[in-house]
Structure 1
Amino acid sequence: MSDLSVRPATVQDRPTVERLWLMFRHDLSGFMGVLPGPDGTFRGERVDSAFTEAGWAPYLFRRADRPVGFAFVRGLDGPARVLNSFFVVRGARREGIGGTAVREVVLRHPGRWEVAFQYANEPAVRFWRHVAARLAPDAWSEETRPVPGRPDLAPDAWISFVS
């Protein structure tokens, strides 16, 4: 995909990533039943963490000159990298952008990886299983884990592999 760019997001990219974040959270609200706050936005602590905390890295995906998605990686200073948040805009889905972007992000940080998703998000279930099978054929695992401090939520699904 020659017109796709996957690169670390800069401070100058933050407003673009914040707008993409709202789309991401809006998509997830359909699976999680979360409403925006009184100001019409969703919680943004992960955006803050991705741009300010050690061990985190934000990425921006562009197709030609248009933003089409982002990823937040955490755990870069620990034993496992966690793909904390990952999003591709609806108008760019089903074109291979997501798989290409994941591969490029993972290749920048070799080692053990973990990705969480919710079983209620069926497209995410199919996508992450497909990605794991392509990145680590016969060498990935899937398990459920409770959401820390949130016994009211369904457990998350986690896929693990080594790149």
Structure 2
Amino acid sequence: MPDVSVRLAGAADRPVVERLWLMFSHDMSEFVGRLPHADGTFRSDRLHKAFLEPDWAPYLLTSGDSPAGFAFVRGLSSPTRVLNSFFVVRGARRTGIGLRAVQEVVAMHPGPWEVAFQEANDSAVRFWRRVATEIAGEAWSQERRPVPGRPDVPPDVWISFNTPAH
């Protein structure tokens, strides 16, 4: 199993995270029905918030010297943190990197957590249920919530769990 390193992304990491964001957005376009803008980029408001908003934190995932993905956390000062965006490059998927990265990120911010994903994304469904079980045992829940401002798309699935303080 390859090693994964998780660290808070700084300004110098932003270009790498922006390129990873394009890969993430491309992958997600299959499930949310979005095409890129005329310049080939995708909606990036969450990317910008992750680096600029005080209640957000962007994490860069690396394997050796290579970027392997990212995790954006929001709600740092809220009772419940949200893993807002999570991405592992295709070449690192199904290696255990994703699970270990999520475990590290949530351990940095103990307490209640929520993660949303699209039910049509079978890989995400399996992954997030496994993550919740690994972190919280059977003490997690799942519910469907409408996507704000998008009545044309199916509801997101939200998983909720707690991570204990160490």
- Two-structure CA RMSD over aligned residues (Å): 1.0
* Unmatched 5+ stretches in structure 2: none
SS in 2 for 1:67: strand
Runs (4 or more) in structure 1 with deviation over 3 Å come to none
Q: Once the two structures are superposed, what CA deviation does each residue of 1:103-123 show, in whole Å capped at 9, x if it has no partner?
A: 000000000000000001110
SS in 2 for 1:46: helix
Q: Once the two structures are superposed, what CA deviation does each residue of 1:75-107 show, in whole Å capped at 9, x if it has no partner?
A: 011110000000000001110000000000000
Q: In the alignment, residue 61 of structure 1 is paired with which amino acid?
A: L
1:3 Cα deviation after fit: 3.2
In the alignment, the residues of structure 2 paired with residue 5 and residue 88 of structure 1 have an alpha-carbon distance, to the nearest angstrom, of: 12
- Which residue of the partner structure matches residue 131 of structure 1? 131
Q: Does 1:112 align with 2:108?
A: no
Which stretch of structure 1 is more off in the superposition, 94-103 or 150-159?
A: 150-159
- Which residue of the partner structure matches residue 37 of structure 2? 37
Identity %: 67
How many aligned positions are there? Answer: 163
Q: In the alignment, residue 139 of structure 1 is paired with which amino acid?
A: A
TM-score (norm 2): 0.96
TM-score (norm 1): 0.97
In the alignment, the residues of structure 2 paired with residue 134 and residue 58 of structure 1 have an alpha-carbon distance, to the nearest angstrom, of: 23
In the alignment, the residues of structure 2 paired with residue 125 and residue 2 of structure 1 have an alpha-carbon distance, to the nearest angstrom, of: 23
In the alignment, the residues of structure 2 paired with residue 150 and residue 56 of structure 1 have an alpha-carbon distance, to the nearest angstrom, of: 23
In the alignment, the residues of structure 2 paired with residue 3 and residue 133 of structure 1 have an alpha-carbon distance, to the nearest angstrom, of: 22
In the alignment, the residues of structure 1 paired with residue 152 and residue 30 of structure 2 have an alpha-carbon distance, to the nearest angstrom, of: 17
Contact 2:59-2:72 at 8 Å conserved across structures: yes
In the alignment, the residues of structure 2 paired with residue 108 and residue 88 of structure 1 have an alpha-carbon distance, to the nearest angstrom, of: 19
- Which residue of the partner structure matches residue 161 of structure 1? 161
- Which residue of the partner structure matches residue 22 of structure 2? 22
